[in-house]
Amino acid sequence: MPESHSVVIIAFPGVELLDVTGPAEVFSVASRLLGTDRPGYRVEVAAAELGALRTSSGLQLVADRRLAELDGQLDTVLVSGGIELTGEGEGAAVEPLIDATVVAWLRSAAARSQRIGSVCAGAHLLAEAGLLDGLPATTHWLTAGRLAAEYPRVAVDPDPIFIRTGRVWTCAGVTSGMDMALAMVAEDHGQALALATARMMVMYLKRPGGQSQFSVPLSLQRPAGDQIDELRRWIGEHLAEDLSVEALAEQLHLSVRHFSRLFRRRTGSTPAAYIEAVRVEAARRLLEDTEQSLPEVAAASGLGSVETLHRAFRRRLVTTPAEYRRRFRHPDQRGESHVPVAVP
């Protein structure tokens, strides 16, 4: 019988507990459903040192392996994340944790992994190791702006639950690590096992990677009264209008240069990139929820033409609008029903 698939989940002090245990449980349940006659998953937690390490919740995890002991080819490596809040109340700042030992190990050993992924703010460790350069990636909406600002070679999309490019996967906040793990199970063993695993865990499998983790405006939310926040609310209500940098700067009675700098500093995104992201999000909703034609979707979302709609989807989602609608349209719009699927 073929050997089981090894999953190494990397942890460090201050890691989010569910970033580790959520995916681990998905792989464990999938293995139990496969039974003893078929190879499942062998899950291990690896850290700089063996033994207990304290998570962000105060609970402790026990590392099974030292990073230095992980030799040879690796099947799946998942890098968990950690977020530290500094300050209190609305003024609290979010600090993604960067563990230097983990980053150093990734730089030297990631090439030996058949599949590598990050959970939540673990994307910051992959980015620090240079593993996301030139790739689309996502992370927790709270730190997406910072990831984009600090690693400009990474094409950060704060919207999807998870993104896969070849062997590299990234996902959004905490529980989305379980969605990503389910997608990996589907890739390894088929959709039927993934459905059975989700049902066993009372999870909703209709959370594909392209589904939004949060709306783009909310992912960059600021306290009420902030002029950029108010502008973003206005943008969401006027997508079909002129949203050029010049027009937006005029809205705030600022020079184009000062407005662009202020917007980038507050959101981690350029005005043009933000506008495109919001318009693509609106187009995605229309493709998921309505029967509107592509020209109608392009007009309603402010993208203007079908050609521009295609270019934006190719750039941000690496797919076409028609393919996106086919994959992610809500079941009620397709006339489908949710039917339990038995494990073969």
Q: Where are the domains of the chain?
A: 5-200, 219-328
Distance in angstroms (rounded) separating the CA atoms of residues 259 and 262: 5
Residue with tokens 């997406």: 144
Given this model, what pLDDT does residue 87 score? 66
Given this model, what pLDDT does residue 138 score? 93
Given this model, what pLDDT does residue 31 score? 95
254 CB-near residues (< 8 Å, 6+ apart):
262
**Terminal alpha carbon distance of the chain:** 18
CA 44, chain centre distance (Å): 23
Given this model, what pLDDT does residue 220 score? 43
pLDDT along the chain (344 residues), means of 10: 86 96 96 89 96 94 94 95 77 84 95 96 97 94 90 89 91 89 91 87 62 46 62 88 94 93 85 90 86 94 94 86 78 40 29
Residues listed for the chain: 344
User: Is CATH 1.10.10.60 correct for 219-328?
Assistant: yes
Given this model, what pLDDT does residue 99 score? 96
What CATH code is assigned to 5-200? 3.40.50.880
Given this model, what pLDDT does residue 279 score? 92
